[in-house]
């Protein structure tokens, strides 16, 4: 099964705007559901779009200004999609 890649901007602006919380949520979710071999978490330095942040990517999709709680839904959807591929 394909891994789902989650790329978070860990630059100071995105980190302060919500990616710090998003990172914690995702890490907990992965641990709780034993998804270590299904999700690849990657951190980036500033992606150069701070004003649109917090910025992140799940698979091929880029998301800007998304709340942490919504990111988990997007991750679940991406995992379900990866299962059917
Ligand atoms: S800190 Fe994330 S785009 Fe600059």
Distance 48 CA to ligand 1 centre (A): 5
Q: pTM surpassing 0.85?
A: yes
Distances (CA, A) of 66 to 21, 22, 83: 12, 10, 24
Residue 64 pLDDT exceeds 90: yes
Convert the pLDDT of each residue in 7-47 to its tens digit: 999 999 999 999 999 999 999 999 999 999 999 999 999 99
- Closest residue by Cα to atom 1, ligand 1, is 11
Alpha helices in the chain (DSSP H): 12-14, 20-32, 68-84
pLDDT, tens digit, 9 for 90 and up, residues 23-33:
999 999 999 99
pLDDT at 36: 96
Can you give the pLDDT at residue 2? 86
| Sign of CA pseudo-dihedral 47, 51, 52, 58 | positive
């Amino acid at each position: 099964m394909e891994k789902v890649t989650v790329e978070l901007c860990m630059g100071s602006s995105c980190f302060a705007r919500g990616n710090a919380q998003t990172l914690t949520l995702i890490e907990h979710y992965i641990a709780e559901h034993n998804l270590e071999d299904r999700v690849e978490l990657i951190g980036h330095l500033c992606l150069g779009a701070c004003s649109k942040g917090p910025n992140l990517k799940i698979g091929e999709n880029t998301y800007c200004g998304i709340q942490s709680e919504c990111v988990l839904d997007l991750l679940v959807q991406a995992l379900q999609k990866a299962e059917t591929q």
